[in-house]
């Protein structure tokens, strides 16, 4: 485990890791993953409700919703999943796992929510011996259509000592 404890997770990292067949890294590294129901809906719509890896992953996570009304700023600026993830992370005082740049920026600057992304998951996976190298995993994600800038790939690879 990486000391994260509970984390609120958005759709992107789940999709990205699923694309390279490494969805299990999330549950190997994070003891409790909290996902808003809207994210579950996005995952089922995007990955297919019958996807075995998705179903297994969903059994390992906690699904809950924010109790307080959604901040109008969040719903005006972000899609429903990103807004719900930030709202839930704020409410539960948890860090969040999100890759989308705009959502990350709003979470940090407007709401002071700690954020990390799939790149950090891959670095920690390497440190714990779950994967040998980070760069090939990121390249596989890019080849499968997941957007990762070259600058980000280089930065994460440097962090991983590659």
What's the pLDDT tens digit per position in 61-96? 888 887 777 888 888 999 999 999 999 999 999 999
Distance, in Å, from the CA atom of 159 to the CA atom of 75, rounded to the nearest integer, reads 34
Cβ atoms of residues 2 and 114 within 8 Å: no
Q: What is the pTM of this model?
A: 0.90
Beta-bridge partner residues of 3:
none
DSSP state of 33: E
Residue spans of alpha helices (H) in 93-149 = 101-111, 118-127, 135-143
How deeply is 5 buried, as exposed, middle or buried, from its count of CB atoms within 10 A (0-12, 13-18, 19+)? exposed
CATH topology of domain 6-118: Rossmann fold (3.40.50)
pLDDT tens figures, 110-150: 999 999 999 999 999 999 999 999 999 999 999 999 999 99
Look up residue 56 and give its two tokens: 């297994």
């Amino acid at each position: 485990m990486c000391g994260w404890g509970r984390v609120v997770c958005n759709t992107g990292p789940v999709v990205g890791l699923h694309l390279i067949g490494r969805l299990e890294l999330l549950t190997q590294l994070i003891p409790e993953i909290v996902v808003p129901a809207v994210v579950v809906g996005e995952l089922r719509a995007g990955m297919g409700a019958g996807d075995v890896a998705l179903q297994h992953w969903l059994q390992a996570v906690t699904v809950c919703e924010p109790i307080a009304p959604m901040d109008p700023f969040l719903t005006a600026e972000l899609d429903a999943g990103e807004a719900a993830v930030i709202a839930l992370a704020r409410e539960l005082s948890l860090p969040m796992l999100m890759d989308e740049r705009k959502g990350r920026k709003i979470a940090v600057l407007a709401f002071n929510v700690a954020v990390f992304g799939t790149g950090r998951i891959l670095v920690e996976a390497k440190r714990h011996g779950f994967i040998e190298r980070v760069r090939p995993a990121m390249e596989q994600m890019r080849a499968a259509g997941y957007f990762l800038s070259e600058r980000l790939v280089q930065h994460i690879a440097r962090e991983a000592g590659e």
